[in-house]
Amino acid sequence: MTAPITATSMALDGGVLSTGDAAPEAAFVPSRGFWGHVGHRLVRDPVAMGAGAVILLVVLIAILSPWITPMDPYKGSMLRRLKHVGDATYWLGSDELGRDMISRLMLGSRLSLFIGVTPVLIAFVIGSGIGILAGYVGGWTNTILMRTIDVFFAFPSVLLAIALSGALGAGIFNSIVSLTCVFVPQIARVAESVTTGIRRRDYIDAAKLSGASPLTIMRVQVLGNVVGPIFVYATSLISVSMILASGLSFLGLGVRPPEPEWGLMLNTLRTAIYANPVVAALPGVCIFVVSIAFNMFSDGLRAAMEIRQ
């Protein structure tokens, strides 16, 4: 509820008038530009940097995992099932089919990140498009687009995601489609409110008077000024998306076995919570750590963009 307001105020306070905040004593220092300032402030935020480092590490593991896993993540042994954490061979234990946990967790980061981040990326593109169009054109276009969006807001996001993937059937592609449908309306609403906030600005009028076509204005003046706030909002959705995507797999609606994915691993290990609770909880720790890292990084990014005099 509050997100659209913050995003708008960010565009109005920070994004647009970034050149106005040069203090008199800094007059001779060349301006860093808006994104330069944001980057500068972000680097000085230890929490955001820590979170960023965690994300970077997980991304690296995800990219490199096929080559660096200590054991074969698919090969199990019923004789060596549910080994405890700290085992000499299986450092983080083994799962209910005797497969090495650390290898599966490493390889699992690939699918977990992929199904968590992709929907937000696609929704960022589609949602921004819809929102900017509705906000800039206004009138009936706005009414029709935004009232349609309102219908999707009538569904709690978890319900919508599960309903869509339940109807479409299990699978990675379907779960990405349903999560995208969940995030498009949310991003579109923010994009619309940010765009509506800037469309009466003087520089838009100036561009119109200089003879720029509506498409050029949308691309240059509008897009350039609204993309930042929308992007920050989108990053705040990644954490939710990760939890939901793994949740779909947890329900059996996303990734199918034997592929390793954190949510699915959590589901198959549920039977082991009495025999080996620590191992059973491990995939959830991964989801939690990545989700909290994305949340903290997004918070840091938002704070860094709120540049006030």
Partner 1 sequence: MLIYILKRLVYVTPVAFGVSLVCFLLVHLAPGDALSAVLPADATQETINEMKAAYGFDKPLPVQYLIWLWHVLHGDLGTSIATGRPVLGEVTRAVINSLILASVATVIGFTFGTLFGFVAGYHRNSVADRAASALSVFGVSVPHYWLGMILVIVFSATLGWLPPTGAGPDGSGNWRPDFDHLRYLILPAVTMSVIPTGIIARTVRALVADILAQDFVEALRAKGMDEFGVFKHVVRNAAPTALAIMGLQLGYLLGGSILVETVFAWPGTGFLLNAAIFQRDLPLLQGSILVLAMFFVVLNLLVDVMQTALDPRIERA
Which residues are paired to 94 by β-bridges? 100
Cβ closest to partner 1, residue 56 vs residue 206: 56
124 binds partner 1 (CB under 8 A): no
Give the 3-state secondary structure of residue 34.
Answer: helix
* Rounded least distance, CB 4 to partner 1, Å: 15
Separation CA 224–CA 19 (nearest Å): 14
Paired tokens of 271:
């039977």
Cβ closest to partner 1, residue 164 vs residue 226: 164
Angle between helices 172-198 and 223-251 (to 10 degrees): 150
Give the 3-state secondary structure of residue 171.
Answer: coil
Cβ closest to partner 1, residue 204 vs residue 272: 272
Stretch that binds partner 1, among 30-38, 204-212, 214-222, 236-244 (CB under 8 A): 236-244
Number of residues located near partner 1, criterion CB under 8 A: 47
252 binds partner 1 (CB under 8 A): yes
306 binds partner 1 (CB under 8 A): no
308 binds partner 1 (CB under 8 A): no
Cβ closest to partner 1, residue 107 vs residue 240: 240
Separation CA 115–CA 101 (nearest Å): 20
Residues 6+ apart with CB under 8 A from 163: 155, 178
* Rounded least distance, CB 207 to partner 1, Å: 34
Cβ closest to partner 1, residue 217 vs residue 238: 238
Instruction: Name the residue among 108, 242, 254 with its Cα closest to residue 170.
Output: 254
* Rounded least distance, CB 225 to partner 1, Å: 26
Cβ distance 248 to 262 under 8 Å?
no
Q: Within 126-165, which residues bind partner 1 (CB under 8 A)? A: 147-148, 150-152, 154-159, 162-164
Which residues are paired to 100 by β-bridges? 94
Residue pointed to by tokens 């000499």: 88
Choose which of 169, 224, 257, 258 interacts with partner 1 (CB under 8 A). Answer: 169
* Rounded least distance, CB 151 to partner 1, Å: 3
Give the 3-state secondary structure of residue 170.
Answer: coil
Cβ closest to partner 1, residue 119 vs residue 283: 283
What DSSP letter does each residue of 35-104 carry, written as one string? HHHHHHHHHT-HHHHHHHHHHHHHHHHHHHHHHH-SS-SS---GGGTTPPTT-SS-TT-B-TTS-BHHHH
Cβ closest to partner 1, residue 191 vs residue 296: 296
Choose which of 34, 124, 233, 250 interacts with partner 1 (CB under 8 A). Answer: 250
2 binds partner 1 (CB under 8 A): yes
Cβ distance 114 to 260 under 8 Å?
no
185 prior amide bond cis, ω within 30: no
Cβ closest to partner 1, residue 34 vs residue 250: 250
Site string for partner 1, 261-300 (x = CB under 8 A): --x--x---x--xx--x--xx-xxx-xx--xx--xx--x-
The site for partner 1 (CB under 8 A) is made up of: 1-2, 147-148, 150-152, 154-159, 162-164, 166-169, 239-240, 243, 246-247, 250-253, 263, 266, 270, 273-274, 277, 280-281, 283-285, 287-288, 291-292, 295-296, 299
